Chain A
Amino acid sequence: MHGILNNGIQYLVQLIGMYEGSTHYIIAWAVSMVLLAFCGGRKGRAVFIWPAVILLVTVFNPFFIGILFKGEEGQLSGFLPYLWMLPVLIVIPAGAGALASKLPFSVLKVLPFIAVIAFAAYFGVPRPSAYLKLTLPENYHKADTELLTICSYLEVHKKKSGYSAAFEDAGMQDECAEYTARIVTSDLFRTDRDLSRPAELKKALKDGKPDYIVCAKDGKMPDVLDDSGWKAIACTDHYLIYRSL
């Protein structure tokens, strides 16, 4: 029983880390809950404190989690959406607001919010730097322009209706499926086989041969396709489009 509880606590900490990237936020959440309990009034307690207590005792109970994920840590990620029930992002500013409401002067009332912003900037995931580069998307679709060029090329140069194309990059293939329904995507590369070996590629092609293959210029695939009798018909900055002969 003690072991299950220990495991449960470990899993819970892992879960929070997996969810937020750091456990600092849970400390800020706990502090905000205390502030709401003392300064948030009845409404704050009824809507934020008691539901959280009920959830911590039931759904997020370390004992319950210890039993549920016994020896199978891989399952933990499936439990992540349950953390949406604890509205951390709303509770932290609400706690700051509750504290501010009890402070006497306007100047002092600003301090809790400044503290939250400073906390976010200091402990936050340093990802925003990637977003705040102020770069305009290349197109309205917010997709890679090269992908749109390839899709448009395939749509124009189709040799028959219902032709199929296989993309070496799985993400690119999914985006192609999002962009157009005219191109039937092939599952050629969605296999465990090592298709960089010509023999394996030939075997895979026997199962289902696409009309076009889109692969990276600088990978092994162009050599293999050249050897297997495919013809490069077009190229973009980073990709080659091959057609079966």
Chain B
Amino acid sequence: MPAYILFALILFGELLIFDLLGALLPVSWNVSRRSTAEQVCAGFLIYTGLLEVLGFTATLTEMPLTTFCYIWAAVLCLLSSFSLMFRSKRFFEGISYGIRKIGFPPATMIAVFFGVLFLILVIILPSAADPGLVIGQMTQDLFHNSISLYEPGSGSKIVAILPEDLLRRYYLSDLFWCKIGGIHPMIMMRLIRSALIAIVSSMAAYRIFMRLFDENRALAGGALTAFLVLSVFFQRAATPSGLVLMAGWTGNAAFASCLIPTVLLLLLALYEEPENIRLHILLFFAGLSAISFSPQAVFIFPLFLAAGIIPIAVRAKDLLYIFRIILWIVVPVTALVLCLILPVIPMA
């Protein structure tokens, strides 16, 4: 049982960092409309986007894992402190407003939180070994104190790497927590990361419903309940809910069940505030996160965003939007070109 306490602490630690990072670029500036769930979703994008930049550089420079962990810890500490200091007034304003107006977090969210935790931590068993060998790669990286230098299984030195594998850096965050908590990668990915992805996914869905139904908590709670029941019954290997329940540690699960709903949430917010520059920056981070999670994202993400932004751009009647879309998708498109031009990248 004490081990579960450590796992829960890491999970809450990650969620807290998401919340602090999300507070740097709040989706809604208005304190009365601020929501922890929305902040966590925004923080998730910022966290993964920054991790992609640092992780990509660290892999190319063959940085030792320990050095990477020190740098990442410093970045997180710096940004979290900055978030607390810079936003302290609004932070406390938010808390006092929350106590006065909201009272407690919505019962639905609490139920979802513990329900999901229970499902992921206790009941659900993974279907099979990870086909992408991400956990195997993590085990090798921890053993050799390196990043993507040794092949999982055979343990031989990697001489060349596929561009999409080089871009898929999301698991470095889990390596970081493995190193800090002294946890085995299998436990980290199959328990903690799976739970994290399920929680962020539920939070994103909840906020979508809240925004869609003009902050009507009863309707959003009902919709969230229906969403969760559908998720349990509507799962095959390729569906987002199936990925979360059977292989929540994979990048595809994070992309399909967290990133896409979070982008939908941002598009809803953008519809309300088309000129909100923070939303545009968050969508840029979403592009960075997308390539970090899944090789398919380099094709899917630009198409998804283009389809999503056209109605908003038409409503805004602003040609500048076209340039902003280019900003959002510049990273996935560059990644796509890189994948098409370079079949493999030789490692030193």
Which A residues contact B (CB, under 8 angstroms)? Answer: 18-21, 25, 40-47, 50-52, 54-55, 58-59, 77, 80-85, 87-90, 92-94, 96-98, 100-101, 109-110, 113, 116-117, 120-121, 123-125, 127-128, 131-137, 140-143, 162, 171-175, 177-182, 184-185, 187
Contact = CB atoms under 8 A, between A and B. Distances in A.
Contact of B222 (A25, A59, A113, A179): A113
Contacts of B7: 140
22 contacts: A18-B238, A20-B236, A47-B267, A47-B268, A51-B304, A51-B310, A55-B303, A59-B303, A81-B238, A81-B300, A92-B227, A93-B209, A97-B213, A97-B222, A124-B232, A125-B233, A128-B233, A140-B3, A140-B7, A143-B186, A174-B133, A177-B153
B226 A116 contact: yes
A97 B123 contact: no
Interface in B240-291: 240-241, 245, 252, 255-256, 260-261, 264, 267-268, 271-272
Nearest to A136: B122
B136 to A, nearest CB: 4
Contacts of A19: 236, 238-239
B229 interface: yes
A140 B153 CA distance: 21
B256 A140 contact: no
A217 B144 CA distance: 34
Contact of B226 (A51, A83, A84, A96): A96
Contacts of A101: 213, 216, 219
Interface string B307-333: 110111001000000000000000000
Count chain B CB atoms within 10 A of each CB in A21, A88, A134, A181 and give the residue with the most.
Answer: A181
Nearest to B151: A177
A65 B303 CA distance: 16
Top 9 A-B pairs, shortest CB-CB distance: A124-B233, A181-B143, A174-B129, A177-B153, A93-B223, A93-B226, A50-B311, A178-B135, A177-B136
Nearest to A175: B129
B24 to A, nearest CB: 25
Nearest to B194: A142
Given A97-B222, A142-B186, 16 more contacts: A40-B212, A47-B267, A47-B271, A54-B306, A81-B296, A84-B255, A89-B230, A98-B213, A113-B222, A113-B223, A117-B229, A121-B233, A128-B232, A178-B129, A181-B140, A185-B154
Given A50-B311, A51-B308, A89-B230, A100 B219 contact: yes
B240 A84 contact: yes
Nearest to A80: B238
B317 to A, nearest CB: 14
Nearest to A24: B234
B267 A113 contact: no
B187 A113 contact: no
A178 B304 contact: no
Nearest to B259: A84
Nearest to A140: B187
A93 B224 contact: yes
Nearest to A46: B311
Contacts of A55: 303, 307
B215 interface: no
Contacts of A50: 310-311
Contacts of B220: 97
B95 interface: no
Contact of A94 (B185, B212, B232, B304): B212
